[in-house]
């Protein structure tokens, strides 16, 4: 593998967006990248940032910075065998108990503590505690394989995005409108907070405040990588960018009034706005800033803008359609629990595409991500400064 110069290499960032079970696609893209590198290739990304499920993938990659192959193998070992009960309680006692607590607190007004969530994600905490080796992040920083690692969570009380980052050298914390950077040692609570999807999973108490999913009101998903020193950014998204809406929605006849949206359809649109819209808007804004920076340079003016190279890899197929094919893979109790919302019907597959933590669905996303990465192998190697090796089967 032909690494770029040290200065350039240390300014390359990987951004992994949020998206629940859709994040299996990111693992597939990394698996494709692994096929393009030598067996002993280290992690090529000195700056890694992630949000929600993307934060979990980001830290999994950062804990194996010495070997990209080992990192991908460890991620595949989890994602390829995923079941919903690895993430949340799916048994009837667990579902009913959580629904009872939620109803008593939020509908009847009785005191129930932290019961603002419909689902109990304590299995996810146990899974991460078993598999994550947070001390290895510091080892990678000390060895110079990493420059900085960041995860984002939303502070409900301060109503702002908080980018928790760990770095070897001191990086000045930043403060912008409704977003701040906080240097710290990353741990399990940061991951659980970043992945706490509002209403579905409970918020996490951290640093004397309550935190939830980092994608909530995240105005500038690219900003932490830039604050941490990146001048080249690879973004792995989790949405089919050429679509203009839910692809699984049946078209109504011209003389018929379409049925009102189900709760699952509404939830799917809300999750799209949380996980996807801000990232796409931020990418468009960065393109405009790059245009201004290039023209300012031609005119010899110093505007303070700097060009940031960006490459985006996103699904070539709509993930809601894939989720609809696998909706029966949900555990029976969870399927019945979600039935009333419409999530188990084709029209509710947008919401399902975020919650379907089942191996059948995740493996299809992994394979899609691998194919998409290999389809752009030349562009990917050129952007990362890698010497391409023969891709294996």
Of 184 and 389, the structure prediction assigns the larger pLDDT to 184
Phi and psi at residue 387, to the nearest 5°: -90, 115
Across residues 340-359, what is the average pLDDT?
72
Determine the pLDDT at residue 392.
46
Tell me the average pLDDT across 193-210: 91
| Residue 393 confidence (pLDDT) | 41
Average pLDDT over residues 68-97: 90
- With 60 as the cut, is the pLDDT of residue 53 above it? yes
Residues carrying an active site annotation: 52, 213
Residue 245: per-residue pLDDT:
44
Q: Has residue 255 got a pLDDT over 70?
A: no
* Residue 13 in this model has a pLDDT that exceeds 80: yes
Cα distance from N-terminal residue to C-terminal residue, the chain: 19
Domains of the chain: 12-103+113-241+265-295+305-384 (3.40.1090)
279 by Cβ neighbours in 10 Å (0-12 / 13-18 / 19+) ranks as: buried
Q: Is the pLDDT of residue 238 over 80?
A: yes
If you average pLDDT over every residue of the chain, what do you get?
82
Per-residue pLDDT band for 200 (boundaries 50, 70, 90) equals confident
Ramachandran category for residue 304: left, alpha or beta (phi over 0 → left; psi -120 to 50 → alpha) = left
Of the listed ranges 172-176, 249-253, 302-306, 320-324, the least confidently predicted one is 249-253
Res 314 pLDDT > 70:
yes
- Reported as a pLDDT band with limits 50, 70 and 90, residue 352 is confident
Task: Report angle CA 369, 361, 245 to the nearest 5 degrees.
Answer: 75
pLDDT score recorded for residue 388: 72
């Amino acid at each position: 593998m032909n690494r770029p110069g040290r200065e350039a290499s240390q300014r390359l960032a990987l951004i992994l967006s949020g998206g629940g079970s859709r994040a299996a696609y990111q693992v597939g893209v990394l698996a494709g990248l692994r096929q393009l590198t030598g067996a002993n290739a280290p992690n090529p990304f000195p700056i890694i940032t992630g949000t929600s499920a993307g934060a979990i993938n980001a830290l999994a990659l950062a804990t194996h910075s010495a070997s990209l192959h080992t990192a991908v193998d460890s991620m595949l070992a989890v994602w390829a065998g995923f079941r919903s009960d690895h993430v949340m309680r799916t048994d009837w006692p667990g579902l009913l108990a959580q629904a009872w607590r939620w109803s008593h607190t939020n509908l009847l007004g009785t005191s129930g503590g932290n019961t603002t969530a419909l689902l109990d994600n304590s299995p996810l905490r146990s899974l991460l505690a078993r598999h994550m080796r947070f001390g290895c992040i510091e080892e990678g920083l000390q060895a110079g394989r990493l420059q900085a690692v960041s995860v984002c969570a939303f502070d409900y009380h301060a109503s702002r995005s908080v980018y928790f980052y760990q770095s070897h050298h001191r990086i000045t914390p930043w403060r912008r409108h409704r977003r701040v950077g906080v240097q710290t040692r990353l741990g399990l609570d940061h991951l659980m907070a970043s992945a706490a999807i509002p209403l579905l999973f409970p918020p996490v108490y951290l640093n004397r405040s309550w935190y939830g999913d980092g994608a909530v009101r995240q105005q500038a998903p690219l900003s932490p990588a830039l604050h941490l020193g990146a001048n080249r950014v690879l973004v792995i998204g989790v949405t089919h960018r050429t679509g203009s809406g839910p692809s699984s929605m049946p078209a109504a006849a011209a003389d018929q009034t379409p049925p009102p949206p189900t709760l699952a359809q509404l939830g799917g649109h809300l999750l799209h706005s949380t996980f996807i819209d801000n990232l796409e808007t931020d990418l468009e804004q960065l393109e405009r800033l790059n245009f201004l920076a290039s023209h300012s340079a031609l005119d010899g003016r110093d505007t303070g803008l700097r060009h940031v190279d960006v490459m985006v890899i996103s699904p070539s197929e709509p993930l809601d359609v894939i989720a609809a094919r696998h909706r029966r893979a949900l555990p029976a109790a969870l399927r019945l629990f979600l039935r009333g919302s419409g999530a188990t019907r084709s029209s509710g597959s947008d919401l399902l595409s975020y919650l379907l933590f089942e191996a059948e669905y995740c493996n299809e996303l992994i394979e899609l991500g691998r194919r998409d990465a290999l389809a752009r192998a030349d562009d990917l190697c050129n952007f990362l400064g890698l010497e391409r090796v023969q891709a294996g089967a």
